[in-house]
Every structure is written in structure tokens, then in C-alpha cells.
Amino acid sequence: MSRQIAIIGSSGGNLYNLGGKDPRRLLGEILIQMESADLSCAALQFIAAEASMDQAKPDTRATLYSWKMSQDEPVIAAQGTLQEVNEAARQLDQDIAEQISLGEIDGIIVMSADPEGTNRLVFEAAARHKIPVTGTGGTSMAGIQSRGVHVIAASGTTGTTNRTRAVTFVTSLCKHWRMPYRPVIGSSAGAGTGNDALSSPWKRINLRGIMMASLPGFIAMALILAASKVPGLSSLSTVFELMIKALPVILAVIAAKQVSELDEVSIVAGIVAGVLSTEGGIIGGIIGGIGAGLLVHYIFRKCVEWRFPATTVNIAAGGLAGLISGLAVYFLIAPIALAAGEGIRGLIEMLVSFSPAIAGLIAGLLIWPAIIGGVYHAAILPIVLLEMERTGNSFLGAVDMVGLVMVSAGITLANIVAPRDKGEAAVAAPGFAMNMGFGTFVEAAYPFMFSNKLVFGGAIMSAGLGGLLVGLFEVRGTAYVPSFFAPTLSNNAFGFTISMLASLLCSFLITVILNKLSLGRRPKADVSM
């Protein structure tokens, strides 16, 4: 039979700014971790004010949450002014104290409670029955301990997050009862647990995910590069150089957060590691971030097991993890990572310089099979980002725009202008708008390409033509930006524009012709009587 837990507290003073202002998310994270440990919630008394308790007044709006056994979730028990909610909370305090006296509560989780007011009866009962208590809130926990309550772990709130507090609470209780517990990651917004255990951070290392999540930083850099070319804005070139140095930090933060899944703690570790990894370029940033994420996980777990205060756990995990990983990159890995990046860029430049037109043609012909086969995000996108790290634009980025985005735009436009049936026009219109307006969602062309092999062949041919022109004009550019704006981010606006128009028109004309031929081959309906 699972242990029964009571959750007691309020949105607090300092806690208010560290998760307390969103009570459902705060409580949801605790419930997720409790479920992982086979602990059940038997009672809840949580007062959520609409301001920090340090500034709250009797007329401040507040909400009282209690536990609904039949729904197995937190419910609103009362709403009104803080004074009115406190009155309702005192009745709930009496009810939970009775549960403790009847032996229905095995442990208590506390956050910024009021042992002298709205929670007095609960802690008096907990002291009498030696109920183990764990919680945060320096002042409240000191007051609870002074009443003789059996406190097994106590900490301040500073530096904690919803997840780190929840993991600390449940770890303390499970260690006290010698129960197994594996923290989980998952939505902290309510019901349900994640599928990935916090004890398996290696499984969350995903280079493709790190690259995709970091892409906005590269696009921001490209925008600054374009703006620096405008007369009167040449001073932005120094900003561009600064942003190049920031790219490893961005990648390190993304990597650390994805690997550790410990919110702000992992972000801090990623920043520290990223700053120390800048000499290794974006490869160094990725390595530093992954290392920081792994170390955050292990340091956090060990500190919790050793019963460090939650604030100290966060400081140790975030600070030490970032330092250790970052210093390892700074002194050992940075030269190797930088050389690897330069080697990949050098290889691309060598192939392109040998015959730009042939390189563009081959890249264009292969880019659709690459994205359909899953190779694009795994191999091509990282190379695009490596190219952009140095110059702010990319040869393969230009091929991406002309070979994927413009070809998709041409196919969808054809199915708006000359569809095989009216339903296809409705399907094509949103895709065309996204291709032109955002430089993405090339998958909009899939329904038309997969339903007609000749349209598929036309897409590959059009992409090859666009790639050929990119090579002839020696264009460097990027996708993932509005198509009308993309030429301004390239090194050759005229050449990029011609290449984009050629791909779009070629795929458009091929698709229109094939649609017309398809309509012509359809048997006419028999209208005879």
C-alpha cells in the first residue's frame, strides 16, 4: 500500500517568484514526482495569493486549493480576499489534523507554511504522531522545527525551481522510508508523468534537437549581418562578431537543458559551460553543454541523496557542472573541436570551389531525397550551421531555400491555380503561404509529390536547377526566413533572387502541366438518359 502524503503551504514570499505564482504547475510537478515514487496525495492545503506574501494585504485576492479524492487532483476550495481564504484554510487545517490523528497521513511536504496560523493544528498533530516532514521556506521551517515536528529535510527557497524542489521533497521521504525512487521528467502542468527517467540523461542527447532549437540564434546573426550592410549601419559589424562568439553559448544552454531537464539549474550550467567553450566554436559549445547537462544530473542527485539544503543543491549542481564541463572544453577539447569545425567547412569550400555549378547541381538533386530520408536534419543542417558560424550565411543554406522552400512553393502554387480538384487548392494554400511567408514547411508539397511520381521527379529537377544557379552565382544564403526577405541576407542578392525564381517557376510549370494532363485523361461523366 502506498504512503499517504499531505501537501501544506502557500505561494509564499520568495517562493512566489520561483513558481508560487503558478500553483497548478508547482503542485503538478510535486504530484508527478510522487507518482513516480508510488506516493499518494491524501490531503492538500495550499493558499495561492495574487502577490508575494511579503507584500500581501488582507484584501489581496487569493485562492485555496484542496484535494479531491474522487477526482484525484487539486481543486479550488475557496476564493476571495486573503483574509477570507485564510478563514476557509483554518477549517481545512482542522480536517487534515484529524486525518493525521487517525493515521491517514504518513508524511508531509511543506512550502512556505504558517505553523502559527493557518497550519497550526496540522503541525501540532504532526509533532504528536512523529510524522516525517520535508519542506522549504526558511522562516516557516524554523518555526515548524521549534514545535518539535520530526523534520527530515529543510531548506530555504532561494535558487530552487518547481522540479528541483519536488525531486528534493520526494527523495527525502523515500530515503527516510528506504523506498526506491527514480525521478522523472514530464509536463509539470498537471496530470501524467514523463516517460524518460531523470536517471537516464544519456538517452536525451540529441544533436539534431540541439541544432534545431538553436537555429533562431543563427538567423538572428544573419539578420544582423544583413543590417550591417545598410548604409549608415556599418557599426553593426561589431555586433555580428559578438554574436558569432555567442553561438557556442546558445548551443551549450540548449544542450544542457535538453540533457538534464532541470530547468533554470541546467540553463545556468549551460551558460557557464558555453562561455568557457567559445574557443571551440559551435562544436565546443555542444560538447560543453552536453557535459554540463550530464554533470548537473549527477551532482544534483548526489547532493539530494546527501541531504544538502535545496538551495545548496541547485547552486552546486548549476555552478559546478558548468565549471567542470566548461574548463574541460577550454583546456582540452576546444582546439580539437575548432579544428573539426574548420575541417568540415574547409571540405565544403574545397568541393564548392572545385566546380560551384556541379556542387550546386548535385546538392539540389539530392536535397529532396535527403529530407525525405531523414538525412537533412541529421547531416545537412549541422553543416549549414557550421558554415553560418563563420560568415552568417551558407552555400547549403542557399540550396535549402531554392531546392526545398521554393520548389514546395511552386508545387503548392500550381495546385492553387490549376488543381486537379477543388479540394487540393484548399490543402495547398496554407502551405504556399508558409513557404513564402516563413521560409519553412516544405512538407506542404508532400501530398502532391507522393500522389504523382512525375511531380516528385519535377521537384527534384527543379531543385537541381536552383542548386546549379546557386553554384553559378556563388550564392551564400539561408532558409527559415521570409522568402521575400531571404536575398537581403545573402552575399549575392541578385543571384539568389534569380535562383529562387527559377526553382519556383520550374516546379510550378511542371506541376501545372501534369495536373492538366491528369484532368485530360479522366473519363467524362455519362450524362445520357
Task: List the grid coordinates of 246.
Answer: 555567442
pLDDT at 185: 60
Provide the sign of the torsion angle of the four alpha carbons 480, 485, 490, 492, taken in this order: positive
Max CA pair span of the chain: 98
The pLDDT of 475-489, averaged and rounded, is 90
Q: What is the DSSP letter of 405?
A: I
Per the rule left: phi > 0, alpha: psi between -120 and 50, beta: everything else, 500 is alpha
Q: Which residues 6+ apart lie within 8 Å of 202 measured at CB?
A: 294
pLDDT at 177: 94
pLDDT at 75: 94
**Which stretches of 118-248 are assigned E, i.e. beta strand?**
133-136, 151-155
The pLDDT of 482-509, averaged and rounded, is 94
The pLDDT of 155-172, averaged and rounded, is 86
84 — pLDDT class (breaks 50, 70, 90): very high
What is the C-alpha separation between 69 and 173, in angstroms, rounded? 22
pLDDT at 524: 54
Question: How far, in Å, are 4, 30, 121, 182, 209 from residue 44 at the CA level?
Answer: 11, 12, 14, 23, 38
3-class DSSP string for 442-487: HHHHHHHHHHCHHHHHHHHHHHHHHHHHHHHCCCCECCCCCCCCHH
Task: List the grid coordinates of 264.
Answer: 533554470
Amino acid (1-letter code) at residue 131: I
139-154 burial, b at 16+ Cβ within 10 Å, e below that, comes to ebbebbeeeebbbbbb
Instruction: Flag the least confident range among 202-216, 290-304, 437-451.
Output: 202-216
Task: List the grid coordinates of 349.
Answer: 569550400
Between residues 265 and 199, the one the model is more confident about: 265
Q: Tell me the pairing of strands 61-68 and 73-81.
A: antiparallel
pLDDT at 161: 85
Q: In this model, does residue 197 exceed pLDDT 50? A: no
The pLDDT of 216-237, averaged and rounded, is 84
422-451 burial, b at 16+ Cβ within 10 Å, e below that, comes to eebeeebeebbebbbeebbbbebbbbbbee
For the segment 335-347, what is each residue's pLDDT rounded down to a tens digit?
Answer: 998 888 888 878 8
Mean of per-residue pLDDT scores for the chain: 88
Q: In this model, does residue 379 exceed pLDDT 90? A: no
Structural domains of the chain sorted by starting position, each given as residue range(s) with its CATH number in brackets? 3-177 (3.40.50.2300), 201-340 (no CATH), 355-521 (no CATH)
User: Per mean pLDDT, which of 204-218, 226-240, 319-333, 377-391 is the most reliable?
Assistant: 319-333
The pLDDT of 66-77, averaged and rounded, is 89
Q: In this model, does residue 228 exceed pLDDT 90? A: no
What residue has cell string 515514487?
A: 37
How many Å separate Cα 458 from the centre of its chain? Answer: 37
Per the rule left: phi > 0, alpha: psi between -120 and 50, beta: everything else, 407 is alpha
What is the C-alpha separation between 238 and 223, in angstroms, rounded? 13
Amino acid (1-letter code) at residue 184: V
Q: Tell me the pairing of strands 133-136 and 3-10.
A: unpaired
For the segment 241-283, what is each residue's pLDDT rounded down to a tens digit?
Answer: 888 889 999 999 999 998 987 778 899 999 999 999 999 999 9
pLDDT at 441: 86
pLDDT at 521: 66
pLDDT at 192: 39
pLDDT at 474: 93
Between residues 222 and 321, the one the model is more confident about: 321
Q: In this model, does residue 460 exceed pLDDT 70? A: yes
68 — pLDDT class (breaks 50, 70, 90): confident
Q: What is the DSSP letter of 203?
A: G
Provide the sign of the torsion angle of the four alpha carbons 29, 30, 33, 35, taken in this order: negative
Instruction: Flag the least confident range among 7-16, 141-150, 205-214, 463-472.
Output: 205-214
For the segment 396-407, what is each residue's pLDDT rounded down to a tens digit?
Answer: 999 999 999 999
48 membership: H or E segment, kind and range? strand 39-49
pLDDT at 523: 57
202 — pLDDT class (breaks 50, 70, 90): confident
Q: What is the DSSP letter of 160?
A: -
Q: In this model, does residue 46 exceed pLDDT 90? A: yes
pLDDT at 527: 44
State percent of the chain over pLDDT 70.
95
pLDDT at 188: 41
pLDDT at 445: 93
User: Residue 3: which of 127, 147, 181, 193 has the closest Cα?
Assistant: 181
Q: In this model, does residue 191 exceed pLDDT 60? A: no
- 372 SS3 class: helix
Tally: H helices and E strands in the chain: 21, 7
3-class DSSP string for 108-148: EEEECCCCCCCCHHHHHHHHHHCCCEEEECHHHHHHHHHCC
